[in-house]
Amino acid sequence: MTTTTTPTGLSAPVRALQATTTLVLLVLAWQFVTAGQMIPRGGPEELHAAGAIVLHVASGLAVVAAFLLNRTARGPWWPTVLTAVVFVLTFVQAYTGSHGVLAVHVPCAIVLTVGSVWVAAWSWLGSTASARRR
């Protein structure tokens, strides 16, 4: 199966994964900023909640991009699995945050961040080398 490539020689699925994982990291940064402002009374809870919705969408798109990259480039499955775990954890994160269970909400944010950074770094560094060889 051939893949569509961009002028730089990278496949469209690689670019999609790079874009979606970068978006996930930007949304996570937004979430950290708005969560920090929520600590004092009267913080922007609505902005934080809106960011959670965007995080669901962005991480879901990252799962699709990772799956397409795996299917077209016959790459490893772990990026798809890890992005799917991150996607599911965004719902756990939202639930625990809306119910005030910070003992789960905060550590879950760390796991989401580590998983997202890992896949994003791989998409920019590891996947590009294999995509150029194809």
Residue 134: predicted pLDDT: 46
Average pLDDT, integer, range 59-79: 93
Residue-wise pLDDT tens digits, 99-109:
989 899 999 99
Pairwise CA distance, residues 111 & 34, whole Å: 18
For residue 24, report the phi and psi dihedrals to the nearest 5 degrees: -60, -45
Q: In which residue are the tokens 């639930």 written?
A: 95
The whole-number average pLDDT for the span 115-121 is 97
pLDDT digits (tens, 9 = 90+) for 13-46: 999 999 999 999 999 999 998 887 666 555 578 8
Instruction: Please tell me whether residue 74 adopts helix, strand or coil conformation.
Output: coil
Q: Average model confidence (pLDDT) for the chain?
A: 87
Enumerate residues 6+ apart whose C-beta is below 8 A from 19: 65
Residue 5 has pLDDT above 50, yes or no: no
| Rounded-to-integer distance, Cα 67 and Cα 81, Å | 9
pLDDT in tens, 42-51: 557 888 999 9
**pLDDT band at residue 126 using 50, 70 and 90 as cut-offs:** confident
pTM: 0.84
